Structure 1
């Protein structure tokens, strides 16, 4: 005993060894186990606050229907030689893969917003004190959001089928395109994770994310062929990573396997994780 009546560090260690033997201590969670646990936490949040699914249910339907019937007649005429019915059908085949990509890519922004909200509430201060693989707290949140992306993608394709979308690549082409887009969405989420860690408020994170996302999705080949755009806009659309992803998704759904296109998407994925993953962790470890 020390003079102030407290147990000394040596006595505390001895008592701890007696009460908890090495055989009774649970094994430390590995990287995968910890990531899946935090991913499950993200799913439980959706269960208790189902309103979070609004953006992956209503938004995809609105985007698909509005974009098809607003732009379908005008843009589709160039694809079908002036026949209005054929024009709309041709544009549906062209648009659905693009809106499929746009919806999932835009939903990735909410990963950062949710993270910013949790950090502002202080819950991640507790997570960082736990003896787990530190990146698991961020990786788990991104893995949990894969469920939201999957729900949104299924809704987009279901609405597209009702409207007349018929992919030439069949089920195999659609599933391959879906998996590729989920991988890209996971990697892109690291950008919004970095933004969320840098911004002090959720509103600021939303503003910066939209500022980045709007030109990436609208100045692309989602709604129209870049060849129809003015020179500078066309140049940006052609080098836009989103255009590369859309082109690869369209090819897979059309039954065409373009190794170069798929490789380009995977390279973008690797670069996004290699750049923004370490940046996110650097900021996260030092964020108070």
Structure 2
């Protein structure tokens, strides 16, 4: 049988195995509702803290409601912080030998990482729904219609998908759950060195350039634009083409880290 005739069968096999492993991850979460609830409520706590504790001291560029300015940044920050959960799940499976058992089964090699990515994306979508509801409860609104709002949500999930692959790859490289602290050291500066809370123009020149071209900044600026919420503005290329960059950055990260993750998984025993 030729390789061309085998390709559809291999694809169906890979999709079926991916669905099985996605279901495995979702079943684990169903058995640990407390852990899931903590993960969903932590971003809500951040919204309440920033919106009510610090909101009175913050000024919105050009005027407007601070919470409408804040929430798109918080949505994107939640997508970034989720990379730690992806890392911890894959690293734990690797450290406990679960990944090795998967490798001994007659299953598609890519299914382990794609199944994890799919499950994490479902979990992130649920978390984003909670965040949207929380935002609506504290006064946040979108103003450019349902289609633009759906596009903004799509950009947020696209960023999350790209960062899932980053987390999976790092987990397969480091293989130690306790090394999540290393990832936190990387994630927090990326999150706060952006336009989510502070205008890049207020930063030193070199740091402002990093903030403007930060993938998170592109998603935040694009979401503010699509939701019709106030933003920092600016006349730089990154500020004027935020939607394009909010698509380009995640696609680039996915194109790099998805194949690296699959390749690293296949070479775990070497």
TM-score by length of 1: 0.80
Contact 1:28 1:132 survives alignment (8 Å): no
Where in structure 1 are there 5+ consecutive unaligned residues?
Answer: 1-25, 81-88
Q: Which runs of 5+ in 2 are unaligned?
A: 1-8, 231-238
The equivalent residue for 1:194 is 169
Contact 1:34 1:136 in 2 (8 A): yes
1:253 corresponds in structure 2 to 227
Calculate the aligned-residue CA RMSD, in Å: 2.4
Larger C-alpha radius of gyration, 1 or 2? 1
Match of 1:52 in 2: 35
Residue in structure 2 matching 1:262, options 237, 243, 268: 243
Shift of the 27–75 alpha-carbon distance from structure 1 to 2, 3 Å rule, reads closer
1:198-277 paired onto structure 2 within 5 Å: 198-204=173-179, 206-254=180-228, 260-277=241-258
- Give, in whole Å, the separation in 2 of the partners of 1:280 and 1:151: 24
Residue in structure 2 matched with residue 177 of structure 1 by the alignment: 152
Residue in structure 2 matching 1:61, options 44, 48, 59 = 44
Deviation at 1:145, TM superposition (A): 1.2
1:40 and 2:23 are equivalent in the alignment: yes
Give the structure 2 partner of residue 286 of structure 1. 267
Residue of structure 2 in register with 1:105 after alignment: 80
After superposition, where does 1:15-30 map in structure 2 within 5 Å? 29-30=12-13
* Residue of structure 2 equivalent to 1:126: 101
1: distance between equivalents of 2:97 and 2:117?
Answer: 19
Question: Is the partner of 2:194 in helix, strand or coil?
Answer: coil
Say yes or no: does 1:31 pair with 2:14: yes
Query: Structure 1 stretch 28-37 or stretch 211-220: which is displaced more?
Result: 28-37
Bigger shift: residues 181-190 or 65-74: 65-74
Asked if the contact 2:200–2:208 (Cα under 8 Å) also holds between the matched residues in 1, the reply is: yes
Any conservation in 2 of the 1:169–1:255 contact (CA below 8 Å)?
no
Secondary structure at 1:76 match in 2 = coil
Q: Tell me: higher relative CO, structure 1 or 2? Use CA pairs within 8 A at least 6 residues apart.
A: 2
SS at match of 1:58: helix
Deviation at residue 197 of structure 1 after TM alignment: 1.1
Shift of 1:91: 1.2
Structure 1 residues 100 and 28 mapped into 2: Cα distance closer, same or farther (>3 Å)? Answer: closer
Question: Could you tell me how far 1:282 is from its partner in structure 2?
Answer: 2.4
For 2:229 and 2:134, locate their aligned partners in 1 and report how far apart those are by CA, in whole Å.
20
Assess, with a 3 A threshold, how the Cα gap between structure 1 residues 77 and 248 changes in structure 2: closer, same or farther: closer
